[in-house]
Structure 1
Amino acid sequence: MAISRLGFLSLLLLVLLRAFASLPTQAAARGGSDSSGIDNGKHGAFSRILLEDNPEITEEMTRGYMSNSELENAIQGFGNKCSNVSRIYSIGRSVNGSPLWVIEVSDKPGQKEAEPAFKFIGNVHGDEPVGREVLMQLAYWLCDNYLKDPLVCKATLIVENMHLHILPTMNPDGFALRRRGNANNIDLNRDFPDQFFPINDEISFRQPETRAIINWIKQEHFTASASLHGGALVANYPWDGSRDKRKQYYGCPDDKTFRYMASVYSQSHYNMSLSKEFKGGITNGALWYPIYGGMQDWNYIHGGCFELTLEISDLKWPKASELLVIWEQNKMSMLNLVASLVKTGVHGRIFASDSGRPIPGSLMVKGIDSKISASRTLGDYHRMLTPGETYEVVASMEGFRPRSTRIVLEQEAMNLDFILDPDGQKKPLHNDCGCHCDDDVGGKPFLIRESHLWLYLLVLFVLLALYLLSKRRRTASKLAAHRIPLKRPVAV
């Protein structure tokens, strides 16, 4: 078929625009701090007492703690001993190349199930090593107590009804160097993109440990999480900073639910709730001391994951002989917090009425300005909510009519499935990975990826060949018209 010159030029222009739009844009270089006064990973205007590194950490202080190689051996040993309820995997490497090992505890480790997932992260700061020791104790306790009487022991409840992921150390280099920051001396809990003061949201400029956590959250469908720190005794919840940088209570949309979760931990602790500094043993981060670039706020905003920052030891580096005592003091708090994912909240799946297949919709609660997404493969969602309240829950997805229902959430969890009807309009196709075949990517107009640029160049070459062929044929036709008289149409 001949292509008109105007049509060809229009098509050529469209393809060129789409192709060049896919080329990467220049990212601004990451600086130390901007006009907002936010410190980029180092001590600055918003320092808390906890930011101060300990006095010189002596060999005597570190005696009894596992070294990085000993911790790695312990993790691999756990995987061998408890292979029936665990798997070991790495989410990346530190600056100096140490693998960031994760222990997944579940009766079906590595499999996708319509169950909530929780993650624990220890040793975010290199000079706060208590978390790495306590988390290994937690893993072994779950393994040793699995299949015991579930009325007494929570191990069976946790192993069979959820997936627990444990990262004992996020900062092995900082631990080895006996300092707060990583090998580049960057505070990893100030290195995440911040909602109030985005110095540079380009992920490639983050530390490798930070990027590993970000990619991990994108890959897994975490419902909630907690990071373990030392230097105080309190359960901290979002927001960690405020828009005007003042020290004040600055609650997130799910403030009531976060206070409930923090109280679950504090009230289960042997003395955290008795704190004279923090009422009930819990605190809003911005009220305690504002920080920016923190991990828990990023989890909530970008992962729909409800994360707490748990300060579990008054001392950053207590004597190793005290570690078992600290574990016992925090054991029920950790177990109750993880078990709360199963024992409370709203859980269910979202289906399409026309196909009966699960769909990756989203869930909102009226009056709470946040939403969570259902999983891409199974369409399951797990929404943390404060018990004893009435909620109007809304499930939605592009191409379908939203559906809402009012519930009264008692002290126990509620199961609630949604079946959404197509809205009758053309909707994007979804493959088995939950990817949109003709939808926007990340809320931005779809851009042709640079790796596909060669394909568009090939298309341009074919179109150009067709155009030249068409032009040649038209020239030949004109020459022929001068030699052969045109025939008139014949009436029949």
Structure 2
Amino acid sequence: MDCARLWLGLLLPVVAALDFSYHHQPEMEAFLKSISQNYSSITHLHSIGESVEGRNLWVLIVGRFPKEHRIGIPEFKYVANMHGDEAVGRELLLHLIEYLVTSDGRDPEITNLINSTRIHIMPSMNPDGFEAVLKPDCFYNKGRENSNFYDLNRNFPDAFEFNTVPRQPETVAVMKWLNTETFVLSANLHGGALVASYPFDNGVPATGTLYSRSLTPDDDVFQYLARTYASRNPDMRKRNPCRTKIEFPGGIVNGYFWYPLKGGMQDYNYIWAQCFEITLELSCCKYPRKEKLPSFWNENKDSLIDYIKQVHIGVKGQIFDQNGTPLPNVTVEVQDRKHVCPYRTNKFGEYYLLLLPGFYVIEVTVPGHNPHLTKVTIPPKSQNFSALKKDILLPFTGQLDHIPESDPLCPIIPLYRDLQGHSAATKPSLFLFLVTLFHILFK
């Protein structure tokens, strides 16, 4: 057995180790292309579009079947450097790529992760901004925005109010990308603080803004996801690692509670792309000296890996008609946590629902038929890097091939504008009332 492992190690590709420095576009492209060529069986490199100045927006996919979606294999993504002057995340994702591909076949945990997950990594969403930064700086730099001077994290459609800023090429590219894959879980990497922030970033009274927060119907899952990342980062889990006016108990915060913003990417992912996304603020200093990069990698490596694993919580499966034909564009929701944009099956009839352990009722809705209910119990732990698998056979005759893919469209308008009621997650609690009162009295 030891000899077999030795031979396997000798057969695996060897590339020069990535140094701990800041890699500009030519260097980053050379690294990504080298990885793609040397690990072609588990990687696929492609550009999802171009920046204002024509730089490619590169995405490297790592997985056992990197070039195409496979049924039952969830899609995960990391996006960094959305603000060009927030540079730590960009370098962390390059080192994560190197760690994943060099651990395949050597580390059982990473090998299983690659076997069971299709991992999309975009090191830089704003390469023009990164190139515009003249020197490292802990605070605001002109490279924050793209070359048209727009903040990309204020540039997406907003579910709570009209966002009329011109949509930028980088934003359009990401929106199109989200439509091409069945992304389940995501995080976008920022800098300037140390905290894991979860949706919503904007809100209305129906989502809890009267209590200084804005919560999704999946607030329990989002808090769990944020804690999963923060708990493995020794500095992030401190109450106030950056010594700012606001503290983050446990290293997490609701985005709206921290500060409201319009047109953010994480809200857009959750509402229109059916993808749970949180925002990871990874360094008090936005663009620290390169000598600090090894410590950032050591502090975030375990968190980055553990967070990817969370794509395997909850339940997944396919919806079939009585003839065993998969049904696309069928609404699949948990009964007590429906989304303002209903979550639907993809073209393979697949659904993925991120849920914590417990008992749930899944409601499948097909136009012209009564909702079909299925009871599931999510076990305490995911099994072998897989969510609970639950295929659902609908008791309908015929293939239901009359279901149009665009019926009904979820419009890109302020969807929450007229919403009156709110879910259980947004109802007030005594604790949050006292927190709100404290901030009013002492801010």
Q: TM-score, normalised by structure 2?
A: 0.78
Residue of structure 2 equivalent to 1:464: none
1:98, distance to aligned residue in structure 2 (A): 0.3
2:249 to 270, 275, 279: 279
**Whole-angstrom CA distance in 1 between matches of 2:22 and 2:332:** 44
Aligned letter for 2:151? D
Residue of structure 2 equivalent to 1:331: 301
Deviations 1:251-285, CA, capped at 9 Å, x for gaps? 11111110011111111212322223101110000
1:79, distance to aligned residue in structure 2 (A): 0.7
Q: Give the 5 Å matches for 1:328-477.
A: 328-342=298-312, 344-354=313-323, 356-360=324-328, 361-370=330-339, 371-376=342-347, 378-387=348-357, 389-398=358-367, 402-413=371-382, 414-422=388-396, 427-429=400-402, 436=405, 440=407, 442=409
Could you tell me whether the CA contact under 8 Å between 1:403 and 1:418 is conserved in 2? no
**Whole-angstrom CA distance in 1 between matches of 2:319 and 2:401:** 17
**Whole-angstrom CA distance in 2 between matches of 1:390 and 1:313:** 38
Aligned letter for 1:101? W
Aligned letter for 2:363? V
**Whole-angstrom CA distance in 2 between matches of 1:338 and 1:67:** 26
Secondary structure of 1:223's counterpart equals: strand
**Whole-angstrom CA distance in 2 between matches of 1:285 and 1:199:** 18
1:148, distance to aligned residue in structure 2 (A): 2.8
Residue of structure 2 equivalent to 1:93: 50
Name the CA shift for 1:172/1:149 in 2 (closer, same or farther; >3 Å). Answer: closer
Name the CA shift for 1:440/1:375 in 2 (closer, same or farther; >3 Å). Answer: closer
**Whole-angstrom CA distance in 1 between matches of 2:360 and 2:389:** 14
1:208 to 140, 163, 169: 169
Is 1:177–2:132 an aligned residue pair?
yes
Residue of structure 2 equivalent to 1:46: none
Deviations 1:50-104, CA, capped at 9 Å, x for gaps? xxxxxxxxxxxxx931111111111111111211100001100000000101000
**Whole-angstrom CA distance in 2 between matches of 1:255 and 1:247:** 15
Secondary structure of 1:249's counterpart equals: coil
Aligned letter for 2:345? A
1:156 to 111, 128, 140: 111
Aligned letter for 1:351? F
**Whole-angstrom CA distance in 2 between matches of 1:238 and 1:442:** 23
Q: Give the 5 Å matches for 1:96-245.
A: 96-114=53-71, 115-150=73-108, 154-178=109-133, 179-200=143-164, 205-243=166-204
Aligned letter for 1:192? F
Aligned letter for 2:371? P
Deviations 1:408-445, CA, capped at 9 Å, x for gaps? 22222311110113267x95536xxxx64xx646268x
Aligned letter for 1:160? N
Could you tell me whether the CA contact under 8 Å between 2:78 and 2:188 is conserved in 1? yes
Percent identity of equivalent pairs: 37
Could you tell me whether the CA contact under 8 Å between 1:191 and 1:210 is conserved in 2? yes
- Unpaired runs of 5+ residues, structure 1, are 1-62, 445-492
Could you tell me whether the CA contact under 8 Å between 1:124 and 1:169 is conserved in 2? yes
Name the CA shift for 1:440/1:64 in 2 (closer, same or farther; >3 Å). Answer: closer
**Whole-angstrom CA distance in 2 between matches of 1:357 and 1:320:** 54
**Whole-angstrom CA distance in 2 between matches of 1:357 and 1:218:** 23
Deviations 1:2-57, CA, capped at 9 Å, x for gaps? xxxxxxxxxxxxxxxxxxxxxxxxxxxxxxxxxxxxxxxxxxxxxxxxxxxxxxxx
Secondary structure of 2:343's counterpart equals: strand
**Whole-angstrom CA distance in 1 between matches of 2:92 and 2:285:** 14
**Whole-angstrom CA distance in 1 between matches of 2:27 and 2:315:** 41
Name the CA shift for 1:428/1:443 in 2 (closer, same or farther; >3 Å). Answer: farther
Between structure 1 and structure 2, the one with the greater Rg is: 1
Deviations 1:338-359, CA, capped at 9 Å, x for gaps? 11112x21111111112x1211
Deviations 1:173-211, CA, capped at 9 Å, x for gaps? 11111111000110000000111111339xxx4100000
Could you tell me whether the CA contact under 8 Å between 1:91 and 1:212 is conserved in 2? yes
Q: Give the 5 Å matches for 1:254-269.
A: 254-269=218-233
* Between 161-170 and 240-249, the greater mean CA deviation after superposition: 240-249
Could you tell me whether the CA contact under 8 Å between 1:399 and 1:427 is conserved in 2? no
Name the CA shift for 1:410/1:271 in 2 (closer, same or farther; >3 Å). Answer: farther
Aligned letter for 1:131? G
Secondary structure of 2:60's counterpart equals: strand
1:155, distance to aligned residue in structure 2 (A): 1.1
Aligned letter for 1:340? Q
- Unpaired runs of 5+ residues, structure 2, are 1-19, 134-142, 241-246, 383-387, 412-443
Deviations 1:284-306, CA, capped at 9 Å, x for gaps? 00000111100000000001100
Deviating above 6 A after TM superposition, structure 1's stretches of 4 or more consecutive aligned residues are: 244-247
**Whole-angstrom CA distance in 2 between matches of 1:318 and 1:246:** 37
Deviations 1:387-416, CA, capped at 9 Å, x for gaps? 2x2211122333555322222222223111
Aligned residues between the structures: 365
**Whole-angstrom CA distance in 2 between matches of 1:422 and 1:167:** 42
Name the CA shift for 1:206/1:104 in 2 (closer, same or farther; >3 Å). Answer: same
Aligned letter for 2:393? I
Deviations 1:349-396, CA, capped at 9 Å, x for gaps? 111112x121122311111122422221x2222211122x22111223
**Whole-angstrom CA distance in 2 between matches of 1:247 and 1:241:** 13
Name the CA shift for 1:207/1:381 in 2 (closer, same or farther; >3 Å). Answer: same
**Whole-angstrom CA distance in 1 between matches of 2:349 and 2:38:** 33
RMSD: 2.1
Aligned letter for 1:175? F
Could you tell me whether the CA contact under 8 Å between 1:402 and 1:420 is conserved in 2? no
**Whole-angstrom CA distance in 1 between matches of 2:215 and 2:282:** 22
Secondary structure of 1:83's counterpart equals: coil
**Whole-angstrom CA distance in 1 between matches of 2:222 and 2:183:** 16
Aligned letter for 1:142? L
